[in-house]
Every structure is written in C-alpha cells, then in structure tokens.
Chain A
Amino acid sequence: MVDASRPVVELFGVARTFPGTPPVEALRPTDLTIADGEYLAIAGPSGSGKSTLLHILGLLDQPTSGVYRLDGVDTEDFNERQLAGFRSSRIGFVFQSFHLLAHRTAVENVMLAEIYRPGSRSQRRERAVTALDNVGLGHRLHSFPTTLSGGERQRVAVARALVGEPSLLLADEPTGNLDSGTSAQMLDLFDQLHRTGITLAVITHDDQVSARAERQIRMMDGRLTEAAGSLS
C-alpha cells in the first residue's frame, strides 16, 4: 500500500527560526520523507515544535532554511498565491476544534473547501455530497453543525479535507475535542482512509492516537526522532 518510490513529502535540512533576542529555534534542521499512502503520527509535548512542523508541512509557513518538496515540487520560491494554491489543491486539514461555520449546513461547509480553487465551481455540490458519503454522513447533508455530535462534526471536517483528493491529509490533534468512544470511531475512520491509499500525517500529544499509525515520530525541542519499529 505504501509506495516508497513516490514520496509525497521530502524535507531536506528544513529549519524554522523565529526572530527575537535570542532567536527561537522552533525547528532544528530536519530531514523527513513521507511516502505515498503512508500513515504517520508525529507526537510530542506542547512546545516541542509540532505546530511549527505542521505549519511548514501545511504550507502555512515557510522554513528559514532547507528544502521542502511536496509531490516532488520544490516550494522554496513559491509566492503567496502559489503557496495558497498548493494548500488548496494538495493539502487537506483537519483541526482539533473542527472549524465548521455555524450558519452553514454540512454540505455547504464541505463546499467551502473549493472556493479558493480555480475553475472548480461546477459540480462543487456533487463532490461535497460524495465526500460526505465517504465518511458515512450521507444522511446528514443538510444538518447544521449545532445539531451534529462531536464525532459527526469531525467527520464533516474530514470530508471537507478530502474533497478534491489532496496529496496529504494533515490532522492536528483530531481527537482533542472528542470523548474516548468517539475518538475510537475517528481513529477507525483514519484506518479506513489509510486503507484507501490516502497519505495521512496526524499530529498529537496522545500516545494512544499515535500508536494507531504505522509509523511514529517523536518530537522534542525542535528535533525529530524516529520511533523504533517504524519504517525507514
């Protein structure tokens, strides 16, 4: 299922330093490769640099040094619009607090994923419906987030991340706001997505969540450590 010959993410000596006195080295020079179809967990305590890595992987921030290739494309010289375009078409985000817009139905929330994509207006609704079907919410298309359970909301968020088939699904503490039963359902959904060949990177401080991934990475003080037993 994992195709190591086709890496989705390649980091070569990527570092991120925030200016200040003294400068903060949030991410020390790091090499990381995520293969196509891989299910990766990045775990670590808060302040370890997880979110910095998440932002760089998600193209919300650019490294101060090093090379980041996404789908084999070097993103170093991208301008803001190109970064945004890549973000829109290649990366799906799932957030801890879902970030669903309260006054829109589930299907309208999913459709929002495509408004910054060029030339995608036609059949936007059909694609959103398909994505909701895929996460098992075909029966709640026109429900407002306030009437959905926490697990259902997170599944709407996953559907929104998956619409348009991104190369990489980035989940930031996806189970942080869910009870243990719903968390388990969520992790089952991730397993299911993994089986369909989606490349998945989950960032979490919860070891139980990271244990479900096929490859675990620990982060501490801006450094990555490959956990024993994982690939490569």
Chain B
Amino acid sequence: MSDTGAQESAFSWRDLFSEATIALTTRPARTVLTALGTILGVAALVATLGLAKTAGNQIVSHFDELEATSVVVRPPRGQGRNPNQQDVSAIPFDAGDRLERLNGVVAAGTKSDVSTGHALARSVPLIDPLGQTELQVSVIAASPGLFAAVRTELASGRTFDSGHNDRRDNVAVLGPGAARRLNVTRVDNSPAVFIGDVTLAVIGIIDDVAREPELLNAIIIPDGFARERFGLEAPAEVHIEVDVGAAELIGSQAAIALAPNDPDNLRVSLPSAPRQVRSSVQSDVNALFLVLGAISLLVGAIGIANVTLVSVLERTGEIGLRRALGATRRHVATQFLFESAALGAFAGLLGTSLGILTVVAVSANRDWIPIIDTWLPFVAPILGAVIGLLAGTYPAWKASATEPIAALRSGG
C-alpha cells in the first residue's frame, strides 16, 4: 500500500456528461427558463438571417428578369423628340442591326413617335355623320427589332419585318387598345386603318408587351414608311434587350456602335440599379435586427451566468462533497463550465429550430420559398454553446474557489 503518484483522481468524459445531464434535467422548468434569453436571441438571429436571405431572393427573382436586361439609348434631353424639329438625333435608322451584332444583345429596335399633323385615325373610309368614327390614336414608328426588344406577344397576325421596312410598305401592327377603339378584331380579313389620307394594312394585333406600355394604345408602323409619308428624320430612341448581366457592357458599347463619331451625343439608360438601393435599405433593417438579436444573446448570457451563479451558491454543499470525494478544483470548474455550455448548446439548438420555423412560417404566409444558408443550422447551436461557456466562466471559477471545509459545514 505504498504506491504514490499512480492514483491521481480522474473525471471521465462519460461521468462528466452524465453528471451535467442529471444536473440539467432534475429541474427542467428552471433549465428552460434559464436558457430562454439565449433561445430567443439565437432564434432572432437565425430568423433575421434566414428571412433576409429568403426575401432577398424573392425580390431578385421578381425584379431582375425585366429590369436588368433592359438598356435604352436616347439623344440628350430635348433632342430628336419631335421629328419635325431641325434638331436631329444621332441615332441611325439601322440602329437595331448595328446593335444586334454586339455580343450580349438579344434584340434591339428603334421607336419614335410619329407626328401625323392633325390627321385622325379611322378604320372605315367612309365618313359617318352619325357616329364618331375618327379617333386620335398615337402613331409610333418602329424598326422590326423593337417587337422582340420589348417582348411583344401577339394576339393575332404578325409583326412587320425588315422587308416591309425596306420596301416602305404601308403596313401597321395595332396595340390592343388601339385595335379595340378602331374595331379591328382580326387580321385574316385584311383590315385597313386610315390616318388622314394614308391607308395602312393591318397585319397583326398585339396582345401584350413587357416594356413600353404606350405601344398598347398605338398604331405601329415601319420606320421606312414613317420616313416616307410622315417625314420622320431620325429614330427617337433605341430599346435593347440584353442578356442577364450584360447591361453594363452593352451600356458602354451601344453609344459607340450607334454614333462612332460622336458617342457622347447619346444618353444610355442602364437598369438604374434598384437592386442596390433596395439591398442597402434591407441591410439597414438587417443590421437593426442583428443588433437586437445580439442584445438578446447578451441578455441570455447574463441570464445563464446569473442562474449558474445562484446554483453554485445553492450547491455549495455538493461542491464540498465532490471535493471530499476526490474532485480537484479543476474537476469542479469543468463540471460547471460543461453544464453551462450544454445549457447554451441546448438553447442554441432550440433557438435555431424556432428561427427556422419562423422563416418557414413567414415564407408560407407570403408564398415565398424559404432559403437558409446551410451553415446556419450548424453554427447557431455552436454559438449558443460558446455563449454558455462564456457565461459559465465566472460561476465555474467561483465554484472551484469554494473552500471544501466551509462548504461541508454549511449544511444541506
């Protein structure tokens, strides 16, 4: 019986784990209440990050498609608006063809308002004194590429092509509003509309356009015909549909392609980054919620520290007993640290679940697809454990500093 150093005391992981489990489960209500602050803090963080991600994705998928693929080129303000003005825009009539050669352009076409003098539009050549058959309908000259550039969907018939344009054919495509007002419902019977003394053969009726809704109420005629009969000097603007992500590039190239001698004389409108505006607003809101989450985590940590400290005082007798039974100061500290870390991890797990549930519930309510970063459900419980560990540091030190003698005499 004279062996010495061999019998150092030990505290196995299994025992540590089961002791902590017993300590936390003997008073379940208290454990949950202690963890409540941390649960809510982690839940708030997870929900904020998850909802930001989810909402951000919804907005992007709604917005971008149309906005980010549209580039418009115009002459500087006050120029080329009125084709009868001497001030002629620098946009050439073959703008569509020039731009469609650029990589990244899906479709491009010119669009100009046409001045018809004071001529009114009508769909029958007769003048009926009893009914109003003459209407003020706007006339727009377009190059064939415009229809694709504004994503036209046809109700019937067809759009005009470069052949019509080159031949300066007197054809027209009607917007649905214009068609209704002019009582043109079908194109298979070769209807015609009249603007003053100009006769136009209607070859198609539009159902809808994604951009430039003024086309819906207009009579659209080829550039070539507008030049010949209505004195159109130059196109007023060019609409370009680009590939997603190509807007910046095309924006920098379009003016040079259209007016190599004087690119500065053209104004290029890029999709005006509404996304950046929105995301900065959103990041402000996010920051606010993250700060709130962090504050509730801090409160949660203080809660854990507080209750753990109280339980150290309550368990003074137990600490003394454990010391007498062979626990070192380090064993006692380890046990309390492990308990508070386990409590924090439990709170983190519960908070993560609550946060994810919140994201799913809000998404279901808004018909969104819930999106959560994959690292979040793993990192959040670890965050909880770290908070528990930090919160338990002082109580654990306090427990380890307990004098076993005094503790054992304290009763209980």
Binding site for B on A (CB under 8 A): 51, 54-55, 58, 60-61, 71-73, 78, 80-82, 84-89, 93, 95-97, 99, 101, 103-104, 112-113, 115-119, 121, 167, 172
Contacts and interface: CB of A to CB of B under 8 A. Distances in A.
A73 B3 CA distance: 8
B63 interface: no
Given A60-B323, A116-B331, A81 B9 contact: yes
Contact of B328 (A81, A89, A93, A118): A81
Interface of B: 1-5, 7-12, 14-15, 19, 22, 26, 317-318, 320-331, 404-405, 408-412
Nearest to B405: A55
A71 B2 contact: yes
Contacts of B4: 73, 78, 82
Given A71-B1, A82-B4, 11 more contacts: A55-B405, A60-B323, A73-B2, A73-B3, A81-B8, A84-B328, A84-B331, A87-B325, A99-B318, A115-B325, A116-B326
B317 to A, nearest CB: 5
A51 B405 contact: yes
A116 B322 contact: yes
A143 B19 CA distance: 19
Nearest to B329: A80
Contacts of B14: 121
Contact of A104 (B22, B320, B327, B405): B22
B1 A116 contact: no
9 contacts: A82-B4, A84-B323, A84-B326, A87-B326, A93-B324, A95-B321, A99-B321, A115-B12, A115-B15
- Name the residue among B1, B10, B324, B411 with the largest chain A CB count within 10 angstroms: B324
A121 B318 CA distance: 21
Given A55-B405, A60-B404, A88-B326, A117 B317 contact: no
Contacts of A61: 405
Contact of A85 (B2, B9, B404, B408): B9
Contacts of B322: 112, 116
A174 B258 CA distance: 104
Given A99-B320, A113-B325, A84 B8 contact: yes
A99 B325 CA distance: 11
